[in-house]
Amino acid sequence: MTAKRQILVTNALPYANGSIHMGHLLGYIQADIWVRAMRSMGHDVIYVCADDAHGTAIMLRAEANGITPEEQIKGVQVEHERDFAGFGVSFDYYDSTHSETNRKHSEAIYLANHKAGNIAVKPVTQLFDPEKEMFLSDRFIKGTCPKCKADDQYGDSCEVCGTTYNATELINPRSTLSGATPVEKTSDHYFFKLPNFTEFLQKWTRDDGRLPVSIANKLDEWFEAGLADWDISRDAPYFGFKIPDTDDKYFYVWVDAPIGYMASFENYLTAHRPDVSFDDYWSPDSTAEVYHFIGKDIVYFHALFWPAMLTGANYRTPTSLFVNGFLTVNGEKMSKSRGTFIKAETYLNHLNPEYLRYYFASKLSDKVEDSDLNLDDFIAKVNSDLVGKVVNIASRCAKFINTQFDNKLSATCAEPELVNKFIQAGDSIIKHYESREFSTAIREIMALADLANQYIDDKKPWAVAKENPNSKEVQDICSVGLNLFHKIMVYLSPVLPTLAEQSKEFLNVESMNFDERFNVLTHSINEFRPLMQRIDPKKVQAMVDDSKENLQPTDTKKAQKSKEESKPMENTDQNTFIGIDDFAKVEMKVAKVLECNHVEGADKLLQFTLDVGDTDEQGEKQTRNVFSGIAKFYKPEELQGKTVICVTNLAPRKMKFGISEGMILSAEKDGQLTVVILPDSMVAGAVLA
């Protein structure tokens, strides 16, 4: 028996500005499986998380929704907690970074670093929106690239030539919030002196087991370039915590977000564990373990800024960072038009969450690798492994024990060596869980399932029962089979907690912790009920369909009518008329042509990459792919960089060459098509009335 360890686990904090989707769930399910496995080993694990609730984006979203930021984040937190619970993610406490406890710790850590000489104040020149009366971050500024002169580029880098620059270097910059021309304005900003911690961080990132080697190697690029002071302040208006001793300066969201780990932990202790001391986990001499499960896109904050802030304020640093890659679906980036940008809520409306938990576990390792949710493979793996192998063991054996032996298992084990082999296999499987080699653990568990099914196939209890229904041999065979199923479910319990709980009730055992594997079952069981159904491919398709953006300009019932029922009325000169109500449903937006190219194998088509102002749940810019049959009238270079009109709420059209996600507006006269081109000053995404 290993010594009981004191462990604190956190997940990256989801931003309180959008819904949880499959890409998010990869990291949370990974952490939850590890937490459950460590608890199953007998360790004291506290698992906390919180919504990341500050920043300009949340302030603007609340403004757009006509509510306060506090109301905005409260509503999103309820949704997030519901979705995590739906997938069995077992947080002990789910908090918000907008808490007085987090304010207290943020101010204390800042003041400690200020006293230690780790804070500097410098004037910063930024672009200021005179209409919104606010400084603009790079994501809210667009203009012409100072190097290649490409239009409609964001304030930090050019997507055409790849150049990075300061927003003040943009030519003809404009605010994406108001369309106004921003002005330069100087303001004092507060900086954390990250270079003060260079030597410490170089050693810290290379400590054995602290970071994945690939991440540590990547961080070397920062050290080679030289660490720079980190701007930790933002000017009002801003939703967040004010910096002590200032009137209009706020902590940048990435200051108080990781401190939220500490605040959530303390709030949990106050509510549920008064026997545990905050300092036992966060003092510099703490022997407790602290682990952060994060995505690879936020490593720099967690591996450089966060440990430096903690050290500067005389707190301990994380034991390790566990880093996961991104999620693709069917080998491609998640897409709203293809229906593969799947929200947690949409999944739960159609499918058992444990299907996804199992599939992710079968893919995950301790490597920083991207994972792919291939929907066909997902269906095949779950149906084959969980239903065809694991649950099949129980269903094949239970009916004989229930109906012919009064629910009683054999008093002695007929195959002690085989059962012991399954028990001993746990040593390796548990080690794989601890090292986060989940895919290896799953392979070994499924190998046991194959052995169990082979045993049943060889012994053929149905054939023996046909000759003698009450034969003790039948009871012995099925008792062995259910013992093997019991061990398998013990090993799968961190991945499939609901199925494990159902199996615990069926097998009439008190626990499914790892030590339970040593228990050879010889008692009475309960009546078997179906444990898991096969995935119906139609339900997966329905989930995908429900995940597609609703781009239809007409209602669902009209869209489902047959062609005969929905044939348009025609007048005598064959022109088609629609009512003003239908026309009002057509949405037209200003679109910037980022790319325009010929389509190989289609002489009439041009392929456009358009910016119509779309963003994903995190506010990152999303482009649209549109095909237009105007190659006869235009060369690609004639439309590259132009501002056009795109009809954006048409249903995506699947074509031989790809998906078309809209229509470019043009006018026809005497057989000549002319694209409607707008002035370059028009803002992408603006809706045209």
Residues making up the binding site for ATP? 336
Beta strands (DSSP E) in 150-264 are 153-154, 171-175, 183-192, 230-231, 233-235, 249-251
- Cβ neighbours of 316 (radius 10 Å): 18
- Binding positions: 145, 148, 158, 161, 336
Which residue matches tokens 């939850």? 32
Contact 97, 261 (CB under 8 A): no
- Binding positions for Zn(2+): 145, 148, 158, 161
Any bridge partners for residue 235, and if so which?
A: 249
Which residue matches tokens 């790319």? 595
Strand-pair category, 183-192 with 230-231 = antiparallel
Give the containing element (helix H, strand E) for 34. Answer: helix 22-40
Task: Say how far residue 194 (Cα) sits from the centre of its chain.
Answer: 29
Check residue 509 and report its DSSP letter.
-
Strand-pair category, 588-599 with 687-688 = antiparallel
Tokens of 594: 């980022």
Any bridge partners for residue 144, and if so which?
A: 171
What's the distance, Cα to Cα, between the start and end of the chain in Å?
71
Contact 187, 235 (CB under 8 A): yes
Give the containing element (helix H, strand E) for 674. Answer: strand 672-675
Contact 139, 615 (CB under 8 A): no
d(CA 143, CA 160): 13
Q: How far is CA 524 from CA 122, 290, 666, in A?
A: 74, 42, 76
